[in-house]
């Protein structure tokens, strides 16, 4: 076997050892929903029920019966009360077209304010109706909606457990993803003041599952084609939150970029600066370090027409095994740390077992099988594509927690014998081989 060299764990700087996930806490879910105003504010797309006696419907003749205003009952699942009147939609410019008067600007008004504006138009401005004898009813018949798309890649929970199976342990050749990966898509019509990230997730299955990233990605339709001051497409680094950046426990602000969390956040352990740029994306972390909070602007969590909400699979958050370990590919736990000892157990190689078996034996107690392998190399790739090797002495790792390197996405674990262990095993094999031969020769 070719020699391998590596940097000892104790010589690694903290930033290379990896970010811990154990202490992350969930963000308050209330930050994912918008605060509705006390009264519904109208805008384009709303449909109002309007009844103006003598105008809508027109005044009946002496020999005709006065028509009763129509009553509209809301659709199933709607929170609106029954509406009275004729349906009149609000135009794109925010005006309400009515007979005999100029269009009335109603954008940003409440129903009470619209009723007052209609009364002023017919009674004061045009003198069509007499003051005190006007009967005007205004109600909300249908609230405006925003059509958004939700893409979820966390439908198959079998990928959430180490080893790639439901409740199973790691096995030789275990593979994650591939043909097993599945997802789903939803088209939602979210009513006004419910068009936010929390409602979109609630209607499509809830928070991301264990086999999905602990974040929500939003592709904003209104940012497509935006250019910076130099005329270049805006590039947004994953993880930067809102217009003011990430505010940490020390009060420092990360930077002025659009939505998400900083690249050094644990949910971005697989960050690749060459692939993860997206000028239309906002990334909202769902777990952060204590004392930190995603600083989101209201526009970051409000969904507009054409926005896309993506719950991404974390099928790239895996580690690989080789050498004396059973070869395979295994997922890394999402919400807690995994060190080299736990990774070997997942791969099916317990400390003290000799060679590629399914565990067993005391530490360095391989019996006639010889000395157990205690030299582990972790091949790690940096976000910028550089690779370096880390040397882990399992003798030290068993007794010293600081020697237990945390596994990061993309790591490759190679288990080998130390030269002294190779020598012990060779001596044992030679001794027993020679002894048995001499026994039978006599």
Is the pLDDT at 285 greater than 80? The verdict is yes
What's the pLDDT tens digit per position in 24-35? 899 999 999 999
Amino acid 432: pLDDT: 73
Q: How many CB atoms lie within 10 A of CB 283?
A: 29
Copy the structure tokens of residue 275.
Answer: 């692939």
Q: Which residues pair with 151 in a beta bridge?
A: 185, 310
Q: How confident is the model at residue 193 (pLDDT cuts 50, 70, 90)?
A: very high
Residue of 9, 25, 8 whose CA lies nearest to 17: 9
**Count of alpha carbons within 13 angstroms of residue 303, beta-carbon side:** 31
Amino acid 70: pLDDT: 87
10 Å CB burial of residue 399 (0-12, 13-18, 19+) is: exposed
Q: Which residues pair with 88 in a beta bridge?
A: 48
Higher pLDDT, 316 or 330: 330
Residue of 46, 60, 2, 129 whose CA lies nearest to 414: 2
Amino acid 103: pLDDT: 94
Is the pLDDT at 192 greater than 90? The verdict is yes
10 Å CB burial of residue 3 (0-12, 13-18, 19+) is: exposed
* DSSP structure class, residue 340: H
What's the pLDDT tens digit per position in 389-426? 899 988 888 888 888 899 999 899 999 888 787 788 77
Q: How confident is the model at residue 323 (pLDDT cuts 50, 70, 90)?
A: confident
Amino acid 3: pLDDT: 74
Residue 415 backbone zone (phi > 0: left; psi -120 to 50: alpha; other: beta):
beta
Amino acid 191: pLDDT: 94
Q: How confident is the model at residue 251 (pLDDT cuts 50, 70, 90)?
A: very low
The dihedral through the CA atoms of 399, 405, 407, 410 has a sign that is negative
Point out the least confidently predicted range of 52-61, 132-141, 244-253.
244-253
Instruction: Please state the φ and ψ torsions of residue 97, each to the nearest 5 degrees.
Output: -80, 130
What's the pLDDT tens digit per position in 340-375? 888 988 888 766 555 544 433 333 344 455 778 888
Point out the least confidently predicted range of 54-58, 275-279, 357-361.
357-361
10 Å CB burial of residue 42 (0-12, 13-18, 19+) is: buried
Q: Is the peptide bond before 79 cis (omega within 30 degrees of 0)?
A: no
Q: Rounded to whole angstroms, what are the CA distances from 36 to 41, 164, 194? A: 10, 42, 8
What does the mean pLDDT of the chain come to? 78
Amino acid 230: pLDDT: 56
Point out the least confidently predicted range of 211-215, 221-225, 251-255.
251-255
442 Cβ contact list (under 8 Å, min separation 6): none
Amino acid 187: pLDDT: 95
Q: How confident is the model at residue 252 (pLDDT cuts 50, 70, 90)?
A: very low
Query: pTM above 0.85?
Result: no
Q: How many CB atoms lie within 10 A of CB 166?
A: 10
Q: What is the dihedral of CA 118, 123, 124, 128, to 10 degrees?
A: 110
* DSSP structure class, residue 189: E
């Amino acid at each position: 076997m070719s020699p391998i060299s590596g940097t000892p764990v104790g010589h690694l700087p903290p930033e290379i050892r990896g970010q811990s996930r154990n202490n992350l806490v969930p963000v308050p879910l209330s930050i994912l929903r918008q605060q509705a105003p006390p009264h519904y504010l109208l805008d384009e797309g709303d449909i109002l029920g309007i009844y103006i006696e003598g105008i809508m419907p027109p005044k009946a003749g002496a020999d005709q019966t006065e028509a009763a205003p129509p009553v509209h009952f809301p659709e199933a699942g709607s929170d609106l009360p029954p509406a009275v009147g004729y349906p009149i939609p609000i135009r794109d410019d925010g005006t309400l077209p009515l007979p005999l008067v100029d269009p009335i600007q109603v954008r940003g008004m409440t129903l009470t304010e619209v009723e007052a504006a209609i009364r002023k138009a017919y009674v004061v401005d045009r003198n069509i109706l007499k003051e005190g004898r006007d009967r005007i009813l205004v109600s909300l018949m249908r609230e405006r909606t925003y059509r958004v798309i939700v893409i979820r890649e966390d439908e198959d929970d079998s990928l959430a457990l180490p080893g790639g199976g439901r409740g199973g342990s790691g096995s030789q050749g275990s593979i994650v993803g591939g043909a097993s990966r599945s997802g789903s898509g939803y088209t939602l019509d979210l009513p006004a003041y419910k068009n936010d990230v929390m409602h979109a997730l609630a209607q499509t299955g809830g928070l991301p599952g264990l086999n999905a990233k602990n974040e929500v990605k939003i592709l904003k339709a209104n940012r497509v084609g935006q250019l910076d001051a130099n005329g270049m497409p805006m590039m947004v680094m994953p993880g930067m939150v809102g217009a003011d950046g990430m505010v940490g426990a020390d009060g420092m602000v990360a930077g002025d970029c659009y939505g998400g969390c900083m690249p050094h956040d644990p949910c971005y352990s697989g960050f690749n600066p060459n692939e993860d740029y997206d000028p239309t994306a906002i990334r909202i972390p769902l777990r952060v370090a204590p004392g930190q909070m995603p600083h989101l602007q209201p526009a970051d969590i409000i969904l507009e027409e054409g926005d896309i909400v993506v719950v991404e699979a974390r099928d790239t958050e895996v580690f690989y095994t080789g050498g004396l370990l059973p070869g395979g590919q295994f997922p890394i736990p999402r919400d807690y740390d995994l060190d080299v000892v736990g990774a070997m157990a997942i791969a099916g190689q317990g400390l003290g077992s000799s060679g590629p078996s399914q565990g067993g034996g005391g530490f360095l107690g391989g019996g006639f099988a010889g000395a157990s392998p205690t030299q582990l190399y972790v091949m790690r790739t940096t976000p910028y594509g550089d690779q370096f090797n880390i040397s882990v002495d399992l003798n030290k790792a068993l007794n010293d927690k600081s020697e237990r390197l945390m596994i990061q996405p993309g790591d490759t674990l190679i288990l080998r014998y130390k030269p002294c262990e190779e020598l012990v095993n060779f001596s044992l094999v030679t001794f027993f081989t020679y002894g048995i031969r001499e026994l039978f020769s006599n």
